[in-house]
Structure 1
Amino acid sequence: MQVKDKDDKKSNDEFYRKHGETPLPLPGNPERDITMTTPPRLNSGELFMAVEKPSRYTGGEVNAIRKENGACRLHFALAFPDTYEVGMSHLGLQILYAVLNGLPEVACERCYAPWPDMERELRQRRLPLCSLESQRPLAAFDIVGFSLQYELSYTNVLMMLELGEIPLRREERDEGHPLIIAGGPCAFNPAPLSTFIDAFVIGEGEEAIAEIASAVLTVSARGGKRRDLLEALSGIEGVYVPAIHTGVERIRKRIITNLDGWRLPLCPVVPLMKTIHDRVTLEIARGCTRGCRFCQAGMVWRPVRERTPAVLEEMAEAMLRATGHDEISLLSLSSGDYSLIEPLLTTLIDRYYARRVALALPSLRVETLTPKLIEGIRRVRKTSFTLAPEAGTQRLRNVINKGNTEEELLETTGRVFAAGWRAVKLYFMLGLPGEREEDLEGIVDLAYKTLRTAKNQGQVTVSLSTFVPKPHTPFQWQRQIDIEETAARQGFFRQRLKSRNINVKWHDARMSLLEGVISRGGEETGALIEMAFHLGCRFDGWSDRFRFDLWEEALHRTGSDIGTSLRERSPAEAFPWDGIDCGVSREFLLSEAEKAQKGEPTPDCRAGSCNQCGACDHRTVRTIIAPADAPVGTVISSFAGPDGNELREKAFRLRFTKLGQARFLSHLELSAALSRAMILGGLSFIYSQGFHPHPKISFAGATSVGMESKGEFADIRIQEPAEDIGPLVARINAALPSGVAITAMRELPANAFSLAELVMGFDYNLVLSEDVGEAELVRIETGISRFLDAESFGVVREVKGKPIIKEIRPHVTGLALDRPSRRILLSARFGPKGTVRPAEILTGVTGFSAEASLRIGVVKTATRLADFAEATDREIFSGT
């Protein structure tokens, strides 16, 4: 591949022109060719209306970066092999996105795995998988970088490559194809994907990714070929290139030695839809030296490096101001181990209490959950508590080096329940090395003891997963139990945990089996993954998409032996990942494996002497703990908001648009975007009471996904603004997604009618596509005439998953075809008995099929009011 100096404004057109005359392989069928005669149009309403959750694909989020200048010579796609809502919750991708877009000559965009419905549509329409920012096809990028977080996402990597019209195997790519790189925790064993990936980044990627971009730019500027690019990447510390590194050399992981020198993205992209973790993620530390012997993350991300409180406070302030989120997650492998966690938590809660910003600590050890931490979290919002004893007896906890005790667990859960929580989750693993029947009994006993700390009034969820031996851990030599053994254990708990207050969940044993096969697999495992992909495996980590029958067929066709994959390994046996140096020595892992057999614990080195694991050089790479005298509470916040008791409550009515790509937002997504933007604009909401307080905002009905509107309405209750409305509205609009804009905002008198009382109906334009001919226009007119003459007219509507006949004739006050403008004009009533949906007019009255109706644009043009509406009401509803 050779990177050329490209003009961004022309690059897409050049790509389309090239492929307009070039046969392209039909994804999924290498023996059949097609010729694309028209440019791909991924932004078409018809495509997005054919899939669920179209906001996964539209882009246009707040803080998304789109570079459109000719200075960018390198186009980089960050690809996440899972859905948008999962990928947007991943901090690592946001960090790399900010790093790459901070380079003047680099334009970085994002791409997520399309859900099966979108994959189907892309294949049927012969469209390539594209990025969110510019709808640029993956094949038109210079580098595509995958984040490898989970082994069961590997078939999605292949799916994205194929949909992106990129050859799966690296040996099949030529100068015209992008470089395919990958990183993340799964890259510490690159062997299973080495057939498909050109280069792997081992370790932390902030510095390495910038060096990769620089190397590609340099080599390309002098006319280098694809082999030259690979050789250049192989010279970067922490980069493993399968085509180059074929000898005995070891690849040492990359590490950021001082986190304070690397700021998190201060303006992270704000998702349009609800994601798995819809919040500001504040990484307080990296690494963990607790030494749990099953935990890969605790080994490969050593040593511990903490950010100082002052840096964290500055970043929290900036990210809240840039996103409008109402929750901060204090992220690390063990949040409670952060040396200054109590003063930091207290400072953040005190500062943002008036804004109802919650604090979440997603990874807590039992012994670190102090009364002060519990009280701090309770003050703002009761986020869930999840604790991980991992094993049911102290003996087995010593084997795995899990340092907490049963007494600490029960003391902690007692505090949690006493503080007002009614539910606690406990995580355990099945099949741990040295597990005995008494350890299973111990889980049962611990579950009931935990319930008793709630005085039998709470709910305890016991979550059981199967132990999977991971590379670079003391247990990498251990055997993994098979499906039958796991099922027997699950049956034991099904019989023993029958209390209505104890909920038992377990991870699918078949998924754990495949995770084990892949995680310790070699290069030959790539053939299994490729076969499973071609058989139809996708989203294998999703229980509703997982097809074990197809994986069994893939195992059979490739001759893969599960027993060999799950077996115990000899200490002398070579591993596929032996060429990867994670920092922790093989000698240390073996010594820890021996101590596990004896049930001997290893202390945490951060609080004592060095354990000689090999991760530190004690000069540049070393443990960094925030000093005890580090200043806390030094940031003066302009975002935190005033005390709610100081200002009066006011009600306002808003008029806003929902146009363009914003029409694909659901009502909940639109509501969330408005709420965030208003907070960013400086408004202080009045919140509801209860377990999860919400801003007080109400709407005049909800527009369906795909419908545009020139005037939507909402009432909000806020603290009296300290400035004029004009500047506030300008700031709010600047924080809204493209297509959403407030066009009017008026204060409401105390006796104002509610929106539900005022709104009597809506007017719509149903915009016909150009391919609707004369015969169809006549059919439309005939259908409208028949409808208007009828006293009753029923359509099929699905309610709670069941079809019913819905009477719609009384809800329609006007219906006509305007031939000159090619629009169907609809006036509909709105009331307690509901209203008519424009789609029901298209399919039930005018005869369009459900598929054809997707090509017809729907625009809400007006909202009709009750006769008693005041003049001020009519002004805002008319936009004046």
Structure 2
Amino acid sequence: MRKLALSDEILLEIEKPARYIGNEINSVMKNKNEVDIRFAMCFPDVYEIGMSHLGIQILYDMFNRREDTWCERVYSPWPDLDAIMRKENIPLFALESQDNIKDFDFLGITIQYEMCYTNILQILDLSQIPLHASDRSEDDPIVMGGGPCAYNPEPLAKFFDIFYIGEGETVFDELLDEYKIWKNSGKSRKEFLEKAAEIPGLYVPAFYDAEYNEDGTLAAFHPNNEHAKETIDKQVVMDFDNVCYPKKPVVPFIKATQDRVTLEIQRGCIRGCRFCQAGMIYRPTREKNVAFLKETAKEMLESTGHEEISLSSLSSSDYSKLPELIDFLIEECSERNVNISLPSLRIDAFSLDVMSKVQDIKKSSLTFAPEAGTQRMRNVINKGLTQEDILNGSFKAFQGGWSRVKLYFMLGLPTETEEDMKGIAHLAEEVAKKYYEIPKDQRHGRCQIVVSTSFFVPKPFTPFQWASMCKKEEYLERAKIVKSEIRAQLNQKSIKYNYHEADVTVLEGILARGDRKVADVLELAYRKGALFDAWSEYFRYDLWMEAFEELNIDPEFYTLRQRPLDELLPWDFINAGVTKKFLQREWKTAMEETVTPNCRMKCSGCGAGKYKGGVCVEG
């Protein structure tokens, strides 16, 4: 019988013990004495968040299909258990075997959000693995990072042995095969890392040096080891119909953030919004075969018992077989009493028709993302939506029986004016008016328009990667302008306004575009007590600012400064598919307030077309 790493006394002391006991439905148990490689797959946040992440489910399934490998899971202990583990000197453990993470061959960490960076240090610290890669011995796990934040790995460089740039289904098998050979060879850890550095898509930070100018900008970045490549090429899955996908995903014991079956219908996006990192780094767009999706949906529903299925995509409306898939799911799900969730739909007649089919009985809220309040600003960000589209879509939604609409916007975008800020309130007012154009006997009470604004964060590999940010106080002033303008509208009682934390945004911006110098700030903030920064109740902006001050590093160097287009950026050694030349062109086009057509309308020559099988085949 499997022995738990935590005693009954500790489990009774903490909130939600089920986060730590493992043994869930569809979790994989193997005999550790019959495998060659043990891989701990980590999501550096609480269990409920990590269990909702599709990428880990895919890799967990893929690794465990190998007879020589056992992949287990680990998540960040919540602060209550964190305190006990430190006090009692309890090492962090994997859910399946309850064995110490330190005893594994690999610790793979998916890095989805900059505000989880201190949790990465928590994972290493509680696992009793040296924080710095340079301090690890032959007996320590190989610490790997991947995910969207790995496209600028530099703020985390000294904590990781390897970063995986791109999609995980491509070269992991090659890496694990090389590891088996190395493990039996008696060679050094450095020799394994040199072998790994030769594999496409793998970046070993120790094999590169950064040099800086007097003004703090990057002067040079180059390999210091003959096995290291000048450029790291993003890895992309092109045979998308035959790629590994979990038919039996692990089902959590407690309610996860997204407690549902997730069906990935496509990767990439044709739209080209200039602020959107995912839309750039996941190019080219690739669709999954609809027959495969039908079969997979049935198997996943049968193997999990979930009562909801969600279609995963950056823009579900753009999946070419969506009507056929929806018709199949409606029939399949109605027999099972399963709900269908359709995130990432555009505000158009086609999408509303689809939504009306899946929400025929219960009309929940509809979510649209105009992103900006004026047409000028939507042209700058290349949103590809007109006010007419938004208002017509809203009116059709209200006619269809919906009375609650969520509208998402960003504040602080490049070239934003006060008119653009106030335009958010004006657009919300126009949407509300559309509801009251419907005859009174056809309405469902008062409409509710929920306006939410986040603050813009420039991300690597987007046309806005050169943009400046605002100070915290300026972000809050912009939110105040929107709030005041909403209160001045005729239908203000129908409009509710929320906005994101400004101090979190500032720190996210620093970490998103930081260089290796930021790693020292991150480590010091963690040692001061920064942890679970993505959670408002635990975020301590003051600890971070203390760390910047003590290390004499100016945070505004990373936020307020607009980069020249010819500046060497910390992530320029990565080839993400889209070329720097394309991104520069899109930045200039944005300043001209000009829209670039989407990929299906016209190829914009972004460079991602070199991956055959995408929307475009050259560029």
TM-score (norm 2): 0.92
Output the amino acid matched with 1:143.
Answer: F
1:464 to 432, 453, 472: 453
Q: Distance in 2 between matches of 1:561 and 1:488?
A: 23
User: What percent identity do the matched residue pairs reach?
Assistant: 44
> What is aligned with 1:192?
155
Q: Distance in 2 between matches of 1:164 and 1:294?
A: 36
TM-superposed CA distance for 1:345, in Å, is: 0.8
Q: Distance in 1 between matches of 2:378 and 2:515?
A: 31
> What is aligned with 1:372?
353
2:116 to 153, 176, 181: 153
1:494 to 465, 483, 487: 483
Matched, 1:250 2:242: no
> What is aligned with 2:66?
103
Residue by residue over 1:508-544, the C-alpha shift from the partner in whole angstroms, topping out at 9 and shown as x without a partner, is: 0000000001100000110011011000011101111
> What is aligned with 2:441?
none
> What is aligned with 2:266?
285
1:432 to 399, 405, 413: 413
Q: Is the 8 A contact 1:152 1:540 kept in 2?
A: yes
> What is aligned with 2:215?
none
Q: Distance in 1 between matches of 2:548 and 2:349?
A: 44
Q: Higher strand share goes to which structure?
A: 1
Q: Distance in 1 between matches of 2:299 and 2:435?
A: 39
1:591 to 571, 582, 585: 585
Output the amino acid matched with 1:64.
Answer: S
> What is aligned with 1:575?
569
1:63 to 20, 26, 51: 26
Matched, 1:407 2:400: no
TM-superposed CA distance for 1:594, in Å, is: 0.7
> What is aligned with 1:514?
507
Q: Unaligned 5+ residue runs, structure 1?
A: 1-8, 13-39, 626-880
Q: Distance in 2 between matches of 1:532 and 1:384?
A: 39
TM-superposed CA distance for 1:485, in Å, is: 0.9
TM-superposed CA distance for 1:418, in Å, is: 2.7
Output the amino acid matched with 1:352.
Answer: C
> What is aligned with 1:772?
none
> What is aligned with 1:676?
none
Q: Distance in 2 between matches of 1:535 and 1:302?
A: 39
> What is aligned with 1:678?
none
TM-superposed CA distance for 1:328, in Å, is: 0.9
Residue by residue over 1:66-94, the C-alpha shift from the partner in whole angstroms, topping out at 9 and shown as x without a partner, is: 11153201110001100100000000000
Q: Distance in 2 between matches of 1:168 and 1:532?
A: 14
Q: Is the 8 A contact 1:360 1:383 kept in 2?
A: no
Residue by residue over 1:695-730, the C-alpha shift from the partner in whole angstroms, topping out at 9 and shown as x without a partner, is: xxxxxxxxxxxxxxxxxxxxxxxxxxxxxxxxxxxx
Output the amino acid matched with 2:573.
Answer: G
1:363 to 344, 347, 364: 344
Q: Distance in 1 between matches of 2:93 and 2:32?
A: 19
TM-superposed CA distance for 1:371, in Å, is: 3.7
TM-superposed CA distance for 1:621, in Å, is: 4.8
1:319-398 pair list within 5 angstroms: 319-367=300-348, 369-379=350-360, 381-398=362-379
TM-superposed CA distance for 1:245, in Å, is: 4.3
Aligned length: 586
> What is aligned with 2:597?
603
1:774-813 pair list within 5 angstroms: none
Q: Distance in 2 between matches of 1:544 and 1:514?
A: 16
1:452 aligned counterpart, secondary structure: helix
553-562 or 567-576: which moved more? 553-562
Q: Distance in 2 between matches of 1:263 and 1:242?
A: 29
1:366 aligned counterpart, secondary structure: coil
Q: Is the 8 A contact 2:27 2:250 kept in 1?
A: yes
Output the amino acid matched with 1:228.
Answer: E
Q: Distance in 1 between matches of 2:435 and 2:73?
A: 46
1:342 aligned counterpart, secondary structure: helix
Residue by residue over 1:9-56, the C-alpha shift from the partner in whole angstroms, topping out at 9 and shown as x without a partner, is: 9xx9xxxxxxxxxxxxxxxxxxxxxxxxxxx96242111111101111
Q: Distance in 1 between matches of 2:613 and 2:575?
A: 14
> What is aligned with 2:527?
534
Matched, 1:138 2:131: no
Matched, 1:559 2:548: no
Task: Go from structure 1 to structure 2 and tell me whether the alpha carbon gap of 1:130 and 1:524 turns closer, same or farther (over 3 Å shift).
Answer: same
2:279 aligned counterpart, secondary structure: helix
Residue by residue over 1:204-239, the C-alpha shift from the partner in whole angstroms, topping out at 9 and shown as x without a partner, is: 011222222222112112222211110111111111
Output the amino acid matched with 1:593.
Answer: W
TM-superposed CA distance for 1:127, in Å, is: 0.5
115-124 or 358-367: which moved more? 358-367
1:91-130 pair list within 5 angstroms: 91-130=54-93
Q: Is the 8 A contact 2:240 2:288 kept in 1?
A: yes
Q: Distance in 1 between matches of 2:563 and 2:307?
A: 48
TM-score (norm 1): 0.65
Task: Go from structure 1 to structure 2 and tell me whether the alpha carbon gap of 1:368 and 1:524 turns closer, same or farther (over 3 Å shift).
Answer: farther
Task: Go from structure 1 to structure 2 and tell me whether the alpha carbon gap of 1:624 and 1:83 turns closer, same or farther (over 3 Å shift).
Answer: farther
TM-superposed CA distance for 1:241, in Å, is: 0.6
Q: Is the 8 A contact 1:268 1:319 kept in 2?
A: yes
> What is aligned with 1:213?
176
Please give the root-mean-square deviation of Cα atoms over the aligned residues, in Å.
1.7
1:583 aligned counterpart, secondary structure: coil
Q: Is the 8 A contact 2:156 2:519 kept in 1?
A: yes
Output the amino acid matched with 2:56.
Answer: L
Output the amino acid matched with 2:64.
Answer: N
TM-superposed CA distance for 1:451, in Å, is: 1.7
Q: Distance in 2 between matches of 1:349 and 1:41?
A: 42
Output the amino acid matched with 1:345.
Answer: I
Q: Distance in 1 between matches of 2:81 and 2:399?
A: 47
Q: Distance in 2 between matches of 1:92 and 1:513?
A: 27
> What is aligned with 1:164?
127
Q: Is the 8 A contact 1:370 1:412 kept in 2?
A: no
Q: Distance in 1 between matches of 2:405 and 2:345?
A: 13
Q: Distance in 2 between matches of 1:583 and 1:543?
A: 35
Q: Distance in 2 between matches of 1:380 and 1:585?
A: 47
Q: Is the 8 A contact 1:201 1:208 kept in 2?
A: no
Q: Is the 8 A contact 2:286 2:613 kept in 1?
A: no
Could you say which structure has the larger radius of gyration?
A: 1
> What is aligned with 2:212?
none
TM-superposed CA distance for 1:59, in Å, is: 0.7
2:22 aligned counterpart, secondary structure: coil
Output the amino acid matched with 1:138.
Answer: I
1:717-756 pair list within 5 angstroms: none
Q: Is the 8 A contact 1:230 1:244 kept in 2?
A: no
Q: Distance in 2 between matches of 1:624 and 1:206?
A: 22
1:602 aligned counterpart, secondary structure: coil
1:589 aligned counterpart, secondary structure: helix
1:476 to 465, 470, 476: 465
1:765-844 pair list within 5 angstroms: none
TM-superposed CA distance for 1:611, in Å, is: 1.3
Q: Distance in 1 between matches of 2:537 and 2:233?
A: 39
2:474 aligned counterpart, secondary structure: helix
Q: Distance in 2 between matches of 1:371 and 1:462?
A: 20
Q: Is the 8 A contact 1:99 1:210 kept in 2?
A: no
> What is aligned with 2:49?
86
